[in-house]
A = this chain, B = another copy of it.
């Protein structure tokens, strides 16, 4: 799966006439073996630990490339930190966000999606995407 995603990125790079670089390899590798909702800063710090001379700008630019390649998606959970979440093909999910510890869980619910479509239809809206986030205390933090 990590292999498959690397392939996707390699193809994307090739097809756009871009170049394979050491940095992109490192960043992709680190991204793929990280938490599914990593903030840019966290990824940057994680990278710096092993590769002290990698630049912040490169991380930003490379994450944008991942997004264009369809490997990642930019997300904001309102804490002022942009996160990139891992994207699998065609998959979609929503989020539970713990306001205390920051833990993020994913969920899917067919019925909710269906109801959303109904709402949109009744208003003449054509939905492209949506976001649904439930904020509160995770089971761990409730105690």
Chain A residues engaging chain B, CB cutoff 8 angstroms: 76, 78, 96, 98-99, 105, 107, 109, 111-112, 115-116, 119-120, 123-139, 142
- A127-B119 CB under 8 A given contacts A76-B76, A76-B78, A78-B76: no
Could you say how many copies of this chain the assembly holds? Answer: 2
* Bound-state Cα–Cα, A139 to B127, Å: 11
A36 to chain B, nearest CB (A): 16
**Contact assessment for A124 and B142 in the assembled complex, using a CB-CB cutoff below 8 Å:** yes
* Bound-state Cα–Cα, A134 to B114, Å: 12
The 11 listed contacts between A and B (C-beta, < 8 Å) are A96-B125, A99-B128, A105-B123, A112-B116, A115-B115, A123-B139, A128-B137, A129-B136, A130-B134, A131-B131, A131-B132
**Contact assessment for B125 and A134 in the assembled complex, using a CB-CB cutoff below 8 Å:** yes
- Which of A96, A98, A125 gathers the greatest number of chain B CB atoms within 10 Å? A125
**Contact assessment for B125 and A136 in the assembled complex, using a CB-CB cutoff below 8 Å:** yes
**Contact assessment for A127 and B136 in the assembled complex, using a CB-CB cutoff below 8 Å:** yes
Q: Which residues of chain B have C-beta atoms less than 8 A from A111's C-beta?
A: 115
